[in-house]
Amino acid sequence: MKQRLYTVLIGIVSVIILIGCTQAASSKDETEKEVLKMGTSADFKPFEFFDEDGNIVGFDIDLAQLIAQELGYELEIEDMNFDGLIGALQANRVDMVLSGMSATEERAKNVDFSIEYHRSGEMFLMNKDADIQSLEDLKGKIVGVQLGTIQEEGADLLSNEYDFEVKKIDKANVLIQELITGRIDVAYMDKEVAVGYMEEHDLVGFDDPTTASPGMAIAFPKGSELKDQVNEVLQQLIEDDTLQELKEKWELNE
């Protein structure tokens, strides 16, 4: 009798332990998610920038959070210089890049792109006392651009026709400081970003009449399976107007 009772007790304890382990494993599955590493250059307001508390915020950040949430990932963001983003993808340091990146044919040789999620344009920014109102007025001037951007490519081409010098700088906010302090005459930037700086620093500017930028897209390493998953989420966000709501939140113009 004692032996039988002992056997029953052992069985009950085993079941309790098994249930406890199962619950712990279930709890772990619910709390621990696979990490999705995203690269960005957080100097591109309103797409990605540091707020007053030192957090990276912006349109691209909100979009990335929605994508990660929908796919069941925990989002991890790595800030770096814009001209290092594609290299980070190629080295598999990050899984994707959201950084206001235009999906150019040249970049597509090295990375894969999602469907387009926004289209902007280019703008030339100047101090108010600058006598510059057109491309022809750029002759002999110093035009600053951010390294690795589509504006760098555009400025290199335009400089041959309009006879200006191109100065290349790592960060967009440094580019604006160079403009304000007179070390460059003009800053050539994405239009959405330029408008923000224009209002913040009381600058003036004009749209680049010569180009139509490729749309912005999310970049992935070549052959990444993540691209198709993200495209499905992006398409849904477009169809249910969530993407448009994000654009309105961050005051983006299409």
Q: How many Å from the N-terminal Cα to the C-terminal Cα in the chain?
A: 82
How do the pLDDT tens digits run along the chain, 254 residues long? 444 444 444 444 444 444 454 444 433 344 567 999 999 999 999 999 999 999 999 999 999 999 999 999 999 999 999 999 999 999 999 999 999 999 999 999 999 999 999 988 899 999 999 999 999 999 999 999 999 999 999 999 999 999 999 999 999 999 999 999 999 999 999 999 999 999 999 999 999 998 767 899 999 999 999 999 999 999 999 999 999 999 999 999 76
What is the biggest distance separating any 2 CA atoms in the chain, rounded to whole angstroms? 104
In this structure, which amino acid lies at residue 129? D
pLDDT at 253: 77
pLDDT at 210: 87
pLDDT at 1: 46
Coil/strand/helix, residue 75:
strand
CA atoms within 13 A on the CB side of 58: 23
Sign of CA dihedral 214, 218, 220, 222: negative
Which residue in 199, 197, 181 sits closest to 189, CA to CA?
Answer: 197
Cα 153 to Cα 58: distance, rounded to the nearest angstrom: 25
State both tokens at 252.
């983006």
Residue 221 makes CB contacts below 8 A (sequence gap 6+) with: 89, 90, 92, 95, 111, 112
pLDDT at 6: 45
- State the angle between helix axes of 191-201 and 172-180 in degrees (0 to 180), rounded to the nearest 10: 40
**Phi then psi dihedrals of residue 132, to 5 deg:** -130, 120
Give start and end residues of each alpha helix (H) in the chain. 2-31, 59-71, 85-90, 150-162, 172-180, 191-201, 226-239, 242-249
pLDDT at 212: 66
- Give the pTM: 0.81
Coil/strand/helix, residue 162:
helix
pLDDT at 16: 42
